[in-house]
Structure 1
Amino acid sequence: MNITTALQLVLLPAGALGVAAVARWRGWPTPLLLVLAGLIAGLVTSQFRGVPEYRLDPDIVLLVFLPPLLYSAALDSSYLRLRAVRRPVGLLSVGLVLFTAAVVGLLVHALIPGIPLAAAFALGAIVAPPDAVAAVAVGRRLGLPRKVITILVGESLFNDATALTAYRVAVAAAVGVGVSPLAAFGQFAYAAGVGLAIGLVLAFLVGRVFGRLRDPLISNTISLLLPFVAYLTAEAVHASGVLSVVVVGILLGHRMNRTSYGTRLVSHSMWKVLDFFLEIVVFLLIGLQLPLILQGLRGENPWHVAGYAVAVFAAVVVARVVWVVPSTYLPRVLFRKIREREQRPPASSVAVIGWAGMRGVVSLAAAFALPADFPARDMVLFLTFVVVIATLLVQGLSFPLLIRKLGVSSEQEVYRDNLTEAAAQQAAAGAALARLDELTKEGVLETHADVVDRLRVQAERRAMGAWERLGGGVGPEGEETPSSLYRRLRREMLAAERSVLVRMRDERRIDDEVLRRVTMELDYEEATLARD
């Protein structure tokens, strides 16, 4: 590797990190600012010779970026909540993807001369799956109800499997490999079934290993490799690598409580940093692709191309709204059990889900992966790029405004969460105190009463702290609660301890290794204060 190539590899993530830092500092939506920065940088640098081009490599996206991002999202999701919304998630991740592919395919075939029906359907499959990263980030920040967030996350986890399978069938038909409807259904069933089976087997095996391991570094290194193993194993037998990764992540996330506390602490931090890094690079890469895509459209009528792009973007947006509304309410009309078991979804939540259709890097990677002899390949690339950018900017920028305008909120859920947390903390503290009483019957109390008293006070304070948080750390008279006072004073004490330790290190009275060990203990204690 020469110095120029190495410099390119450093400049891209460094630039993405700089833009992301500004976005987080100003409170702006990070994905949208990265895409805009990429667009501007791509257009400006394309005017200068010798400036490196950052071409999106589909293999890198699908083999390096996609598996860990999917696995992390699945690991952080809730198996029980996803199971509770399996019908809407299935209708969106399978039904809506196929419906969007059909609508876009028929429109493009009728509108653009020279694009055969199979190629048009391939474009439909490419732009069909939304990427919920931006929508979920905005939704969580603005307090969307948990059910809406779960549906959007579940859709984004499973829709890539449907879209990529449909994409492969359409591409095979477009390049001359005949595929009958029955064969296409068979391919879809095989990819889904085998991908699911591989995910289940890996989740069972790795779950058994995690249950025995107590070394956080070994456990999390296995976790880091697992999405790639799941994806590549499934793809090697022509199954759905996406589905395999998602199944492994959801099931292991559900069993995460059976691992050691060290594994959980390291896992949370590791995946949070890795997610952030991969996502900022991906969104910047999306914006940088415009000059490369425009090169393939030389000679085309710009007005015709612009009209095609607007029509495809409108079809993608309208298709989602047309599908979401009846698929939400029609099952309630047709099936009495659904009406009795489930509350009627608020129209505001349905509107939010219908508008949360931002596309992402998977669509671009699929478009770039089209074979060189694919019909109208450059046009398909351009239309895909426009759909991705337009949904990110138009729907992405208006999404927060829609949420605020409709007044969709999770305030009641937050209050219920705090209430149930307080009750759970009290029950857990009661069990801890009962166990302490059992242990002290063995004669510990007489010889170490101070230790027992300290343990009892800590358990009682933890239980009371959860109830005090319901009032936001403020008492009925506006005074500071005991738990809030304890946390504030203890943080000041920890800061004083750190200051002394650093000074002793600077004076060469202790080594850096000693400083790291002691400050780690202080850091763990301060971390507990955030939720104590």
Structure 2
Amino acid sequence: MSASLLAVLVVSVLLAAIARRYDVSAPLALVLAGLAAGTIPGLSGIELEPELVLFVILPPLLWSAGLESSYVALRRNARPIGLLAVGLPLATTFAVGVVAFHTVPELTVAAALTLGAIVAPPDAVSAAAIGRRLGLPRQVMTLLGGESLLNDATALTAYKVALAAAIGTAATWGSGLGTFALAAAGGVAVGGAIGWLIDYVRTWLDDPLVESAIGLVAPFIIYFVAEEVHGSGVIAVVVAALLLGQRSVRATYATRLQDTAVWKAVQLVLESFAFLLIGLQLPTVVSELAGIRASTLAIASAAVLATVIGIRIAWVFAFAYLPRLLSRRIREEEPRPTPAQVFVVAWAGMRGVVSLAAAFAVPTTTLSGEEFPGRPQLVFLTFVVVVGTLLLHGLTLPWIIKVLDVPSDDLHRDALETAAAQTKAARAAAQRLDDMVAEQKPGSISEYTPKVLRAWNERRSQAAWEELGRSDEEIGHESPAATFRRLRLGMLAAEREEFIRQRDAGTIDDEVLRTVLRGLDLEEAALNRD
């Protein structure tokens, strides 16, 4: 099995690379490739191990998403995110539970609610991966990202309560609420405590390589500790990631550059692996359906999938506008969302590998020794919802965004904010330069040095406004900032070529080459920061 998983990992990265090269949606391509591979005769299905997903794939993906998230934006949108991350999974659990109970005869009420909790949360992997490629407006991505960061905790807690009832463990509404409260409080406490400790240790070490290494193992440790104390591992990882993401601005530049590169690579590998793994579950799911009527499965599949999609649309539209009608404070403080934006949020409910992991984790027998009621149907319906939402939403979202004309002014607003902030920063830099020059002894520094630095500072201050107010099409030639960038990049290329030539000639060794190239790379990265 380990060799098979390694092969899946390698193939998933290669397929993702090909999809990115030809500008194809990698998540959809990987799911379809997995489904196609599962239909090849003689190719045995690779069964998904729940522990692999919940303890190996999920924590680093949540960690990466948390590091990239804005605590300020999440706090600003706490009310709608809370409705999506807590209210909607619970509503979906009960709605799907009712529908599944009436369409699948083998399911008990508790087993049907277990299915509802399994398919309730849109997956963090799916929402982030597809949303980034579609270039959704930041407000929409904030809602989807905040929802996907926290809804797993809600759904998995509801899953534990429903599953306990289904297998015969005593469970009441009171115990369910207690379990949820303990999971939330434990997750926040563990995430905050370990997150603070990691930040302190990383700051004390002041070693970018070790800091990144600690960041790589942190999500696994946090998730495991939180689960051991019966807290929510999901909430713990998210809390710690948000804390460290906010503190990262005070880290060294080397740590930030290294962390960004490392986590983008990790994210690509794990996302690719997860999506291909979803498609490969088809043979395993089908093999358990022997003797079950196809008509019953078809009716139940259509009913459950429609319920999952319908309840989300109804919930999102209802709570996008009803609170505004009931609260004057909300009307005054929150901008009114357009119907197009609301529908995009409602339609972006892709499920993913976490739902499949929860389904496969359902035991085959209850505590009494009897078979778990309707487990094959439960696993199959989960697979239908996951693949159905991924393909349906993933294939239609680009078209819907185009038809509904959901524009994003994020780039223009970012450029305006950057220009204003750069002006203030340039003034602060100029003042600091004047103060430092004044502290020098007369004649200790050349007059040329401050002039060069002031000119550089002025160019940086003006560049953002030039890019904001001018374009090559409008004026017919490059702006001064664009000219500077082009010429300086050419100079850097010449320097790089000469350093490489000297290394090849034996004048300098590879260690010297790597040192000087790092300096050139950092300057080129600064010039190409847009």
TM-score (norm 2): 0.95
Amino acid at match of 1:173: A
3-state SS of the aligned residue for 1:441? helix
In the TM superposition, what is the alpha-carbon distance from 1:206 to its structure 2 partner?
2.4
Aligned residue for 2:105, secondary structure, equals coil
Deviation at 1:489, TM superposition (A): 1.3
1:463 aligned residue: 461
When residues 363 and 138 of structure 1 are mapped into structure 2, their CA distance, relative to the original with a 3 A threshold, is closer
What displacement does 1:6 show?
6.2
Paired residue for 1:100?
Answer: 92
C-alpha deviation, 1:364, in angstroms: 0.4
Q: Structure 2: how far apart are the matches of 1:392 and 1:494?
A: 44
- 1:436 and 2:422 are equivalent in the alignment: no
Q: Is 1:349 aligned with 2:341? A: yes
Cα distance, 1:280 vs structure 2: 0.2
What is aligned with 2:416?
419
CA contact (8 A) 1:475 1:481 kept: no
- Larger deviation, residues 146-155 vs 301-310: 301-310
Aligned-partner Cα distance in 2 for 1:445–1:354: 67
Most deviating of 207-216 and 15-24: 207-216
1:34 paired residue number: 30
Query: Is the aligned partner of 1:124 residue 2:116?
Result: yes
Structure 1 Cα separation of the partners of residues 262 and 44 of structure 2: 31
Match of 1:299 in 2: 291
Cα deviation, 1:83-117, whole Å, max 9, x if unaligned, reads 01111111111110000000010111111112100
Q: Kindly tell me: are residues 231 and 361 of structure 1, through their superposed partners in 2, closer, same or farther at Cα, counting changes over 3 Å?
A: same
Q: Structure 2 CA distance, aligned partners of 1:88 and 1:239?
A: 24
Alignment of 1:314-463 (within 5 A): 314-373=306-365, 374-411=372-409, 413-443=410-440, 446=443, 447-463=445-461
Give matches, 1:45-56, under 5 Å.
47-48=41-42, 51=43, 53-56=45-48
The Cα shift of 1:141 comes to: 4.1
Could you tell me how far apart the structure 1 residues matched to 2:501 and 2:488 are? 20
Aligned to 2:68: 76
Over residues 8-28 of structure 1, what are the superposed CA-to-partner deviations in whole Å (9 max), with x where a residue is unaligned? 344212211221122112211
- Residues 287-336 of structure 1: CA deviation (Å, up to 9, x unaligned): 00000110000111122212211111111000101111111111112222
The CA distance in 2 between the partners of 1:330 and 1:121, in whole Å, is 27
The 1-side partners of 2:218 and 2:6 are apart by 26
Residues 127 and 148 in structure 2, CA contact (< 8 A), matched pair in contact too: no
Partner Cα distance (1:78, 1:511) in 2: 43
- Quick check: 514-523 or 232-241, which moved more? 514-523
Q: Given the superposition, is the C-alpha separation of residues 174 and 410 from structure 1 closer, same or farther in structure 2, using an over 3 Å criterion? A: same
Instruction: Give the whole-Å Cα distance in 1 for the aligned partners of 2:411 and 2:512.
Output: 42
Q: Cα deviation per residue 1:350-380 (whole Å; 9 max; x = unaligned)?
A: 1111111100000001011111213221111
| TM-score, with length taken from structure 1 | 0.95
Q: 1:99 to 1:6 in 2, by over 3 A?
A: closer
Summarize deviations over 1:231-270 as a string: whole Å, max 9, x none.
Answer: 1111001111101101111121112111111111111111
Q: 1:222 to 1:309 in 2, by over 3 A?
A: same
1:156 aligns with 2:148: yes
Q: Which deviates the most, 491-500 or 460-469?
A: 491-500
Matched with 2:18 is 22
Letter in 1 for 2:219: P
**Unpaired stretches in structure 1, ≥5 consecutive residues:** none
Distance 2:474 2:104 in 1: 68
Is residue 286 from structure 1 mapped to residue 278 from structure 2 by the alignment? yes
Residue range with higher mean Cα deviation, 466-475 or 144-153: 466-475
After superposition, residues 178-327 of structure 1 pair within 5 angstroms as 178-327=170-319
Deviation at residue 53 of structure 1 after TM alignment? 3.7
| Alignment gaps of 5+ in structure 2 | 366-371
| Aligned-residue CA RMSD (Å) | 1.7
2:471 and 2:207 map into 1 onto residues whose CA distance is: 37
The one-letter code sitting in structure 2 at the alignment partner of 1:118 is A
Amino acid paired to 2:384? V
